[in-house]
Structure 1
Amino acid sequence: MTNRCRILILVGVLGGLAGVLRSQDTLAILSLSILVWLFFSWCWFRIQTQWQWTHIRCTRYIHGRPAQQCVLWADRRIEVELRVELPRIRFGAPVVVRDWVPESVTQLSGESFASVDWLASSQCLIYQVLINSAGSVIFPGTQFQFQDPQGLFIAERFHDEELHLRSLPSFATTVDSHPNVKRLNSIPQHGIHRLQRAGLGSELLELREYQSGDPPKSIAWKVSARRDRLMTRQYESEVPVRLTLLVDGYASNRMGGWGLRMLDQLNYVAASVGRSAISAGDLVGYALMDQGGVKRRRPSGGERAFFQLLEALAEFTADAELPPPAYTRSLLHSALAVCQRRYPELMESKVNRLPWTFWPLPPWRKNWRHRQQIAALLGVVQQLSSTQTAQLAFDDHSMAVAIQRLLRESGWDDNGSTLPESSPRTPDRIPMFAREVLKSVSLARDNEVFVLMLDLLDADSDLDPLLAAVRVAVARHHRVVCICPTPTTHAFQSTDGDSSSQLTPLERELQVLSHAAELRVLRQIQPLKRMLRKSGARVAFAGDRQAIALVLSEAELVGSGRTLARSTR
């Protein structure tokens, strides 16, 4: 019901009362006819809306293919097409169709809403979006708005066609893995030899007795004649380098908006290293750690292993257990916006009404009313008992957890728009990471590369267990590379370059705050670099191509059996 309809009802009621009190039959009949006409218009509008709603069909396509068959990639553009089919027999005003664009994507062009004329029986919405990060992309559904020709009644419905699509992490296609220092004339350390195995190379490895199944062309006939028995040549072949990626997925790396989290940097580095290493014939394994435990996989090679790595990173990013957020007013307003858009029928006052409340409510009681309505809606949607529903209305912790679940199921940015109830730091994170490093070293073979990708800037516990694990790995002739992501800092840049005299006071404050944040991060980085280098690890405080090149350079050195002096980074 719109304000226009409310005004007509008020006019009809007042006119009817005035006609009865003043004995004006014409005014009373005219006012009563207005009310009767509004009643029959409302009945016809309800019948028409229900008829159209039961015959609506929606189909979603991505790049011209059904959305269920598509695989998405982070940092890539996709074209989304939504085809809406309406009943051919319709009466009344146009129908407004609005597609719910997930927050994990950025709309670049096109329109995600349209008004369908009452003569048209179908509508096609086409728009382009950019996938911001790896994980899960959720399309909750489509919103419809029905209205009568006179603009008296409005009905909103949500076509719930929840679609979950997996978004794989992006990776660098070309990375220069060669070190930028001189490698000629470098002599291996004592006890370090070039990794070799029997194969089909060009250098002779050894001679052995002939065994059934050996190719005849590998028989050394001259040696066989001297020894009076068949001998077979074995040629050397390089052993593929084994890399193990240890990724930190705790809550501190998951805070922030889509594409701006430190976990997104780690996914980019891990996928790029895996792509380059597997393309060179090396083996890549991983150990993904978060609050839910550790997911491991032994090093393996081939295209199948690479896509298994991408699938594991995407699932690891999407299906994580986050700490419960703190119940705040902004969290309540976010839940209210989602409920009003996704469940308009359950938010109507005649369905979700609070008993013993009188209109109008004072301003300080509106938040309480919204909380009671959201609690009742969550009890129906999440299938909670009456006791649990009542607990949502009065317990802040239970309400925050239920709202977090609602936001995640609706594709809402629950990481960047909500604050954790407590500090996201995990006191046992560094010891757990150190134990996983030691376990990987115990299962490793000779000369492997361990890539430790974790957030050291937020580590509030002692780093001695991690440093001891690094020293154990180095003592067993392994190479350790530590990749630490840094918070995404948007440094303010003026349009006129270095001229800061034209900046406004607010812009100067933003510039000062940006520089202060960068200095604080640099001050934290220096002592961490010194400690890790003393333990024998290579360090990169970045999540870009520089870190990828460092890992690939170490893998190349392991394959050649040579060593280089550590360069300052």
Structure 2
Amino acid sequence: MLTARGWWFVAVVGFITLNGVLWAGRYSATVPLIGLTLLVWFAFEWLLFAYRFRACADRIAVTRVLLHGDRPVPAVWAGTKCTVRVTVTSYGTARLPFVHLQDRSPNDVSFAGGVYSLAPGEPISLEYTLRTATPGVLRFEGVSVRIADVAGLFYKRLFIRNPVDCLVLPPLTDDEGRRRANKRFNSLPPPGVHRLRRPGNGSELLDLREYRPGDPPKMIAWKPSARRDKLIIKEFESDVPVRCVLFVDASNGARVGPPGAAPVVRLAGIASGVAQAAAANRDLVGLTVFDEETTAATPPARTRVHTINLLRTLAIAAGRRPDPRHTDADLVARYAHPVAQELYPDLLAKDVNSRPVAMFWLPIVDSGWLWVVMGLLVLSGYLTSRAAWMNAVVGSMRDYVPRSGSPWVNVAVFMLLVLPILCAPSILAGFVWLLHGVRGFFPPRAPMMSRRKQLGALFAGRDGTGPAAVERHQYDDEFFVARATRFLQTHRVDLPIVLHDKNGNYRFRSERKIDVLAGALIRAVGRARDNELYVILADLAELGDDLDPVIRAIGVAKARHHSVLVIVPWPPDVPPPAAVSSDDDGRKGGWPDQHKTVRLGTVVRMVLAHRYQKGFARVRVALARAGATVVRADDGDPVRLILERMDRVRGARTRS
């Protein structure tokens, strides 16, 4: 394609050449020769650029490596820096003298790019540093390649797709390094495997660890302490490991929020801290991630591989995008089309994804104007069948017909004057049909149909669903919205989210997750061995009236002598529930004076905050009656609270 400089060059040189040819007989032939020479040079440059582009366009490869400390890693840690190395190699037969390369990095990471000369077999490396603050998923789509000639007359854009999803694991905590044992070999069975099935007063040595303040002096192993020149503590089989199962809410409601600040991200961070600290204390931690439909359970274990797998599962849960539940096809298309243009320029080109003019015609059968047209046609047929109508029209027009010498001319003029009146309803129906159809060639329908047709062809080509799916994407709003939303979620592009409906109700309550959570808790109780701790990290503040299945499941767990702890995420813009009861009507505490002028937005925010506080109060009262402890995620250190509860279940020692 020609650049703006190329179009100006053709216009100016063409004007000079045309004037030189027209005035060559009166002036010198130097001017047309110069113009023709420039045009020949332009044609040669165009042929050379076209050859280079076709020889290398589909032969450019991209490889990507993430480095941490000069070694490749499959995942990165949140809060740490890593290096991204992108290698671009051309396997074509021509050299591209001017190429601009730009890596499409995640939205919250700076990108790398530059201008290079791409020769066959000579790789080009791009390196840049990225750092993410929260766990989740980083998606690298590929490299944008802009090819131009040295003169800047021609230009082509490619996108080398190389999609890579990289996990961002939750950050390592300090408790991960506090291992209770540094003894590598033991003639006894593995830790926790012994003949005693219940905690007791067994005296078999289980492990050795370093001294911590608060340990009783009688547990000091003096000989190992003398050899290592530091205090070493003996641990016996009476200190059996504690099993803890974490239930993390990954439902659609928990995923709603700013990028990196959704409730599921906070809950994943808490679960990560508990898993690492428990592994350092040689306890067994299991994980169950649930949403409205499914659960993914990992049985309790305490190996390093198990801990890494837990962190990977939490990173995947934290990286899931919410479903905005939009029904406006035009809104979704306006967000999806620019993404498709950037990532799939070859599949949206005019030569492979055209927009025929006929598709802009607005069919009248889909609107109420069809009844108007049908009524006019019926009226026309009725009037034509009436002889009185025909005689009246012919008699009234007889005196206005001009006379001539030829009878054929008289008949033709008479018919031209009479037929429009006889068929006036039919002509009016055709005029209504024409105006209604032509409206499709103007905004807002024309841009919308253009976007939906191109996106429908892209989706049908990627899914392999055939030409029929293109038409369905154009005219089936529900089908198109579902596919376009999935397309945006795959490429990690967020849509605007409407939190409340027209009645003020929260749209992301996710009631179905209650039954899923209750079933997962019952299954965990069925697999339990000793007294275990179940930690439910879920957004339940809006579900105070739907907690009956969970209350029954907690009752089953308490009947088996297990402990249940519920941690509810708390929005940062909602004040803590200071003395807010479930029966408070909201007329006291925190509300502005009735004589003071406040903005409507402030009142709405206060009403929503108070309603959230009341919902949390109802949840806390209902679950406390069932025997569970309910706390907020921002109330102190939830990780330490869970670890202290595990020590209470263990019953042998307390955490310093």
TM-score (norm 2): 0.65
Counterparts in 2 of 1:562 and 1:92: CA distance versus 1, 3 Å: closer
- Describe the SS at the equivalent of 1:456: coil
| 1:80 counterpart residue number | 84
| 1:279 counterpart residue number | 280
| 1:374 counterpart residue number | 455
| 1:556 counterpart residue number | 647
Instruction: State the AA in 2 paired with 1:78.
Output: C
CA distance in 2, matches of 1:327, 1:448: 48
CA-to-aligned-CA distance 1:211-266 (integer Å, 9 cap, x gap):
xxxxxxxxxxxxxxxxxxxxxxxx85222111111222211111234311111111
| 2:522 counterpart residue number | 438
Number of residue pairs the alignment of both structures matches: 493
Q: Choose from 61, 69, 74 the match for 1:70.
A: 74
Higher helix share: 2
CA distance in 1, matches of 2:71, 2:200: 48
What does residue range 242-257 of structure 1 map to in structure 2 within 5 Å? Answer: 242-257=243-258
CA distance in 2, matches of 1:7, 1:330: 37
CA distance in 2, matches of 1:392, 1:420: 27
| 2:156 counterpart residue number | 155
CA distance in 1, matches of 2:359, 2:531: 75
Structure 2 segments unaligned to the other structure (5+ residues): 179-197, 207-235, 361-440, 502-506, 576-598
Instruction: State the AA in 1 paired with 2:567.
Output: I
- Describe the SS at the equivalent of 1:196: coil
| 1:476 counterpart residue number | 560
> Contact 2:249 / 2:537 at 8 angstroms: preserved in 1?
yes
1:353 aligns with 2:354: yes
| 2:140 counterpart residue number | 139
CA distance in 1, matches of 2:639, 2:553: 22
| 2:112 counterpart residue number | 112
| 1:60 counterpart residue number | 64
CA distance in 2, matches of 1:349, 1:9: 23
Higher strand share: 1
After TM superposition, give the deviation of residue 475 of structure 1 in Å. Answer: 3.5
After TM superposition, give the deviation of residue 483 of structure 1 in Å. Answer: 0.8
CA distance in 2, matches of 1:430, 1:118: 57
> Contact 2:246 / 2:537 at 8 angstroms: preserved in 1?
yes
1:238 aligns with 2:251: no
After TM superposition, give the deviation of residue 406 of structure 1 in Å. Answer: 2.6
What does residue range 189-208 of structure 1 map to in structure 2 within 5 Å? Answer: 195-196=199-200, 198=202, 200-201=204-205
> Contact 2:567 / 2:630 at 8 angstroms: preserved in 1?
yes
After TM superposition, give the deviation of residue 315 of structure 1 in Å. Answer: 4.1
After TM superposition, give the deviation of residue 154 of structure 1 in Å. Answer: 0.8
1:532 aligns with 2:623: yes
| 1:547 counterpart residue number | 638
Instruction: State the AA in 2 paired with 1:266.
Output: L
After TM superposition, give the deviation of residue 561 of structure 1 in Å. Answer: 6.7
- Greater mean alpha carbon deviation, residues 510-519 or residues 146-155: 510-519
- Describe the SS at the equivalent of 1:106: coil
CA distance in 2, matches of 1:406, 1:302: 37
Identity fraction in percent = 25
Instruction: State the AA in 2 paired with 1:49.
Output: F
Structure 1 segments unaligned to the other structure (5+ residues): 178-193, 203-234, 492-507, 564-569
- Greater mean alpha carbon deviation, residues 307-316 or residues 51-60: 51-60
What does residue range 80-479 of structure 1 map to in structure 2 within 5 Å? Answer: 80-85=84-89, 94-103=98-107, 105-107=108-110, 112-117=112-117, 123-174=124-175, 195-196=199-200, 198=202, 200-201=204-205, 237-317=238-318, 322=323, 325-356=326-357, 362-364=442-444, 365-410=446-491, 412-414=492-494, 417=496, 423-459=507-543, 461-479=545-563
- Describe the SS at the equivalent of 2:637: helix
CA distance in 1, matches of 2:519, 2:175: 34
TM-score (norm 1): 0.74
Counterparts in 2 of 1:385 and 1:7: CA distance versus 1, 3 Å: same
Q: CA RMSD in A?
A: 4.1
Counterparts in 2 of 1:454 and 1:64: CA distance versus 1, 3 Å: closer
> Contact 1:247 / 1:452 at 8 angstroms: preserved in 2?
yes
> Contact 1:325 / 1:420 at 8 angstroms: preserved in 2?
no
Counterparts in 2 of 1:247 and 1:396: CA distance versus 1, 3 Å: same
After TM superposition, give the deviation of residue 516 of structure 1 in Å. Answer: 6.8
- Greater mean alpha carbon deviation, residues 433-442 or residues 243-252: 433-442
CA-to-aligned-CA distance 1:415-462 (integer Å, 9 cap, x gap):
x54669994433332233223323322332342111011111232742
- Greater mean alpha carbon deviation, residues 50-59 or residues 13-22: 13-22
What does residue range 7-26 of structure 1 map to in structure 2 within 5 Å? Answer: 7-10=8-11
CA distance in 2, matches of 1:421, 1:154: 47
> Contact 1:326 / 1:420 at 8 angstroms: preserved in 2?
no
Instruction: State the AA in 2 paired with 1:453.
Output: L
**Relative contact order higher in (CA < 8 Å, ≥ 6 apart):** 1
CA-to-aligned-CA distance 1:161-200 (integer Å, 9 cap, x gap):
222323323353349x9xxxxxxxxxxxxxxxx9327461
